[in-house]
Amino acid sequence: AHSYTKYNKWSDIQAWMDSIAASNANLVTKQVIGKTYEGRPMTVLKLGAKGSSTKPAIFLDCGIHAREWISPAFCQWFVKEAVSTYGSDNQMTSLLNQMDVFVLPVFNIDGYEYTHTNNRMWRKTRSRRSGSSCVGADPNRNFNAGWCTLGASSSPCSDTFCGYTPESEIEVKNVADFIRQNKQNIKAYLTIHSYSQLLLFPYSYSYDLAADHSELMKVAQGASAALSSLYGTRYTSGPGATTIYPAAGGSDDWAYDLGVKYSYTFELRDTGRYGFLLPESQIKPTCEETMLAVKYIAAYVQKNL
Ligand code: 0X9
Ligand code: ZN
Ligand code: ZN
């Protein structure tokens, strides 16, 4: 059964999406953006007050990497908070009146399922190709942004395999197509990973500073301060290449170069004590503090439309 304070398996997340969309029809629409390699439906929940025409939007995804279980937990938490505080929380109400938030709760569903059934530490997709017995590519090395030039491997057996071509992974292609189709409206791209407590922004495929570096840094520092205000969790902000490591083919750099200025990668708790195996007791505090950072960025984007 589904619980916001447990790590839910895919079938429970699927049932939860049906149920939260059905019981909040004024605010939530389900949209399938394609299927995974193994045929699972990639479902985006569009959150926003209905009625008016197309609104500016934020795209939020979770679960690009299969073993980072706190990430899908956050997307579920975000949807819960959105529907339960719309109409009472002034910021959430104003946000969803003026903007839409597209939430993809699990990007790499096949990999996520595999971590529940076979190998808890799996990272990649589950695609296969004749010629190699190794399975999957790293979805966050498969976007068309300096693809496979830096911090990625061209070996199919590596955990950071960049894939055979940019967007060779169907999950990456589906998300990239969706963002391209909606790029006029999408003002921010937020992607949730773990772990290390970092708030990263472009670039990771290059040491060059982004054209919007100062503004991206200012917003990241504001968001980190908001996050820390709840329990004192410390975050570091900065461009990916120098703050974590150089690595090409990531979704954040790709979205930014497409024209989505506010492009951020979160690396949630912790800093390594539990790593990917973050205890379920930390789901609630992690999600509550992360909400403050995401809402900070959303408010900034909304104010600067
Ligand atoms: O290496 C990654 O893809 C991310 N770290 S993780 O431990 N979750 O795998 C960091 C991504 C930063 N952005 C880019 N490299 N574009
Ligand atoms: Zn990751
Ligand atoms: Zn809350």
Residue list, CB under 5 A from ion ligand 2:
65, 68, 193
275 backbone φψ class: left, alpha, beta (φ>0; ψ -120 to 50)? left
pLDDT band of 148, cuts 50, 70, 90: very high
Average pLDDT value for residue range 80-102: 98
Percent of the chain residues past pLDDT 70, beyond the cut: 100
- Half-sphere CA count of 148, side-chain side, radius 13 A: 17
267 is catalytic: yes
Q: Within 10 Å of residue 257's Cβ, how many Cβ atoms?
A: 17
Question: What does the H/E/C string look like for 104-134?
Answer: ECCCCHHHHHHHHHCCCCCCCCCCCCCCCCC
Q: What is the ipTM of this complex?
A: 0.97
Going by alpha carbons, the residue nearest to atom 15 of ligand 1 is: 247
Pocket test for ligand 1, best of 125, 144, 190, 267 (most atoms within 8 A of CB): 267
Kindly report the backbone phi and psi dihedral angles of residue 266, in degrees, each rounded to the nearest multiple of 5, phi listed first.
Answer: -95, 135
What domains appear along the chain, each with residue ranges and CATH number?
Answer: 10-303 (3.40.630.10)
pLDDT in tens, 262-283: 999 999 999 999 999 999 999 9
Question: Cis omega before residue 270 (within 30°)?
Answer: yes
pLDDT tens-digit series, residues 42-56? 999 999 999 777 999
CA 267 to ligand 1: nearest atom: 8
The string of pLDDT tens digits covering residues 239-248 is 999 999 999 9
Q: Specify the pLDDT at position 53.
A: 79
Q: Is 241 in the pocket of ligand 1 (CB under 6 A)?
A: no
Ligand 1 pocket, residue 110 CB under 6 Å = no
Residue type present at position 238: G
Give me the pLDDT at residue 51, please.
Answer: 78
pLDDT band, very low/low/confident/very high, at 20 (cuts 50, 70, 90): very high
Residue nearest to atom 3 of ligand 1 (CA): 140
Tell whether pTM > 0.90.
Answer: yes
Atom of ligand 1 nearest to the CA of 145: 16
Distance CA 41, CA 58 (A): 21
Q: How confident is the model at residue 285 (pLDDT cuts 50, 70, 90)?
A: very high
Render pLDDT for 164-211 as a digit per residue (tens, 0 to 9): 999 999 999 999 999 999 999 999 999 999 999 999 999 999 999 999
Burial per residue of 243-255, b for 16 or more beta-carbon CB atoms within 10 angstroms, e otherwise = bbebbbbbbbbbb
Tens of pLDDT, residues 1-10: 999 999 999 9
